[in-house]
């Protein structure tokens, strides 16, 4: 296994509890983890109930668990652990065998992040993502556990009085790790009569984005959907960009409607969906009428797009470090000097409304 060039220096050994109902899988994954410097599997469990009991007994730093297990599944473990003994939990489960709704439920209940477990020749395939598993454990070990605990938020069904001459014509949002909870918090607080479109680039497999959009649409008084190729951009709709392509906004002529368009262009930081790619198109079309927000997530995706929006006179907002699960993407944009305002997550919705009016 090749060690990642981006691997962080770790001062203390990270203790991991490994949870999977396959004895063979536990052996293989434990071997992968124990080969990494300063990470050690201190215990294993075969179901959710045993996982909870082992966290109390062994006090691990991170829990790595599958979702699909007999008797007591991964969701049971996450709920029990986050209720009584909150810990960073990384879900390692096959997208093909797990219901996307179950993964979203895991994130809603406080899981840090998830990785897709390869299928097929299990022993060799799982080793191919060994580097990703270990780096995800490292990232999880650094998180402020308090930020993983979700608060229930009621949907805002109130109307807000907006000026006829609005300051901004679009809200573009980029998010990655921790983004599902952050986005839900923001969307649920937006007024029912939001007068401009919101477009979100969330790093997530397409299957999960479909389920996520449906979940948000059921919770919110606003309409939330996946943006489709050649679909017209409409006011008051919240769009999630698809996870199987990079998407931009395109205007074919001065008088034509704005439409979503898939692009073959790729970007350095992240693809499918690229935050940078979409925000660059927003900057080009809306210029100083753009309002862009970069939320919790690893890496630097969004900094390039936010830079162009900032240069064109648009308003750029970064989620503050304290409320981020991972202060990676906002930090990169802040350090680039292209953020107009840093705002705590709980205040972002109100800030948006006041900025638009």
Mean pLDDT of all residues in 61-79: 95
3-state helix, strand, coil in the chain (%, to 5): 40, 20, 40
Mean pLDDT of all residues in 280-309: 98
Q: What pLDDT, on a 0 to 100 scale, did the predictor assign at position 70?
A: 87
Told to judge if 131 belongs to the known catalytic residues of this protein, a careful annotator would answer no
Mean pLDDT of all residues in 230-236: 97
Q: What pLDDT, on a 0 to 100 scale, did the predictor assign at position 161?
A: 84
Q: What pLDDT, on a 0 to 100 scale, did the predictor assign at position 180?
A: 96
- Which of the following is catalytic: 113, 301, 320, 349? 301
Mean pLDDT of all residues in 203-208: 93
- Which of the following is catalytic: 93, 98, 141, 176? 176
Mean pLDDT of all residues in 106-117: 94
pLDDT in tens, 20-54: 999 999 999 999 999 999 999 999 999 999 999 99
308 closest CA partner among 330, 290, 334: 290
Q: What pLDDT, on a 0 to 100 scale, did the predictor assign at position 342?
A: 98
Percent of the chain with pLDDT over 90: 83
Q: What pLDDT, on a 0 to 100 scale, did the predictor assign at position 334?
A: 98
Q: What pLDDT, on a 0 to 100 scale, did the predictor assign at position 4?
A: 42
25 closest CA partner among 166, 133, 163, 104: 133
The encoded tokens of residue 118 equal: 């390869």
* 72 vs 161, more confident: 72
Q: Tell me the pLDDT band of 5, cut-offs 50, 70 and 90.
A: very low
Q: For each of the domains in the chain, give its residue range(s) and CATH number, in order of start.
A: 14-148 (3.40.50.2300), 170-356 (3.40.50.180)
121, pLDDT greater than 80: no
9, pLDDT greater than 50: no
Torsions phi, psi for 219 (to 5 deg): -85, -35
Mean pLDDT of all residues in 62-76: 94
Rg of the chain (C-alpha set): 21
Mean pLDDT of all residues in 154-178: 88
Torsions phi, psi for 174 (to 5 deg): -120, 135
Query: For all residues of the chain together, what is the average pLDDT?
Result: 92
Provide the 10 A C-beta neighbour count for residue 337. Answer: 8
Q: How far apart are CA 274 and CA 245, in angstroms?
A: 8
Provide the 10 A C-beta neighbour count for residue 193. Answer: 13
Q: What pLDDT, on a 0 to 100 scale, did the predictor assign at position 99?
A: 78
DSSP state of 327: B
Q: What pLDDT, on a 0 to 100 scale, did the predictor assign at position 151?
A: 74
Q: Tell me the pLDDT band of 3, cut-offs 50, 70 and 90.
A: very low
324, pLDDT greater than 90: yes
Q: What pLDDT, on a 0 to 100 scale, did the predictor assign at position 11?
A: 59
Told to judge if 176 belongs to the known catalytic residues of this protein, a careful annotator would answer yes
Q: Tell me the pLDDT band of 357, cut-offs 50, 70 and 90.
A: confident
Length of the chain: 357
The encoded tokens of residue 60 equal: 């691990």
- Which of the following is catalytic: 73, 141, 203, 349? 203
279, pLDDT greater than 60: yes
DSSP assignment of 220-289 equals: SSSEEEE--TTPBP-TTEEEE--TTSEEEEE-SSTTSPPEEEEE----SS--SS-HHHHHHHHHHHHGGG
Helix and strand counts by DSSP (H, E) for the chain: 12, 14
111 closest CA partner among 24, 165, 178: 178
Told to judge if 203 belongs to the known catalytic residues of this protein, a careful annotator would answer yes
């Amino acid at each position: 296994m090749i060690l990642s060039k981006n691997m962080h220096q770790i001062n203390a050994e990270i203790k991991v509890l490994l949870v999977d109902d396959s004895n063979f899988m536990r052996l293989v994954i434990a071997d992968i983890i124990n080969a990494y410097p300063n990470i050690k599997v201190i215990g294993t469990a075969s179901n959710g109930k045993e996982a909870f009991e082992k966290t109390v007994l062994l006090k691990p730093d991170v829990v790595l668990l599958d979702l699909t297990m007999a008797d007591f599944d991964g969701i049971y473990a996450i709920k029990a652990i986050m209720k009584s003994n909150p810990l960073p939990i990384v879900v390692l489960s096959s997208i093909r065998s797990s219901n996307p709704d179950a993964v979203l439920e895991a994130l809603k209940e406080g899981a840090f992040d998830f990785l897709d477990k390869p299928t097929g020749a299990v022993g060799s395939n799982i080793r191919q993502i060994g580097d990703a598993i270990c780096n995800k454990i490292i990232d999880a070990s650094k998180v402020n556990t308090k930020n993983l605990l979700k608060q229930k938020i009621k949907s805002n069904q109130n109307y807000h009085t907006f000026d006829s001459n609005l300051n901004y014509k679009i809200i573009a949002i980029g998010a990655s790790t921790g983004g599902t909870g952050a986005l839900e918090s923001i969307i649920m607080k937006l007024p029912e009569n939001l007068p401009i479109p919101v477009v979100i680039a969330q790093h997530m497999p397409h299957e999960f984005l479909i389920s996520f959009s449906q979940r948000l649409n059921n919770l919110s008084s606003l309409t939330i959907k996946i943006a489709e190729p050649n679909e017209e951009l409409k006011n008051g709709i919240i769009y999630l960009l698809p996870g199987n392509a990079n998407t931009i906004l395109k205007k074919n002529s001065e008088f034509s409607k704005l439409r979503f368009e898939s692009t073959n262009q790729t970007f350095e930081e992240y693809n499918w969906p690229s935050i940078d790619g979409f925000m660059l198109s927003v900057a080009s079309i809306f210029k100083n009428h753009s309002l862009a927000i970069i939320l919790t997530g690893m890496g630097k995706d969004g900094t390039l797009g936010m830079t162009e929006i900032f240069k064109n006179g648009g308003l750029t907002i970064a989620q503050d470090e304290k409320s981020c699960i991972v202060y990676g993407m906002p930090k990169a944009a802040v350090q680039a000097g292209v953020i107009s305002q840093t705002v705590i997550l709980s205040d972002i919705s109100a800030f948006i409304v006041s900025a638009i009016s």
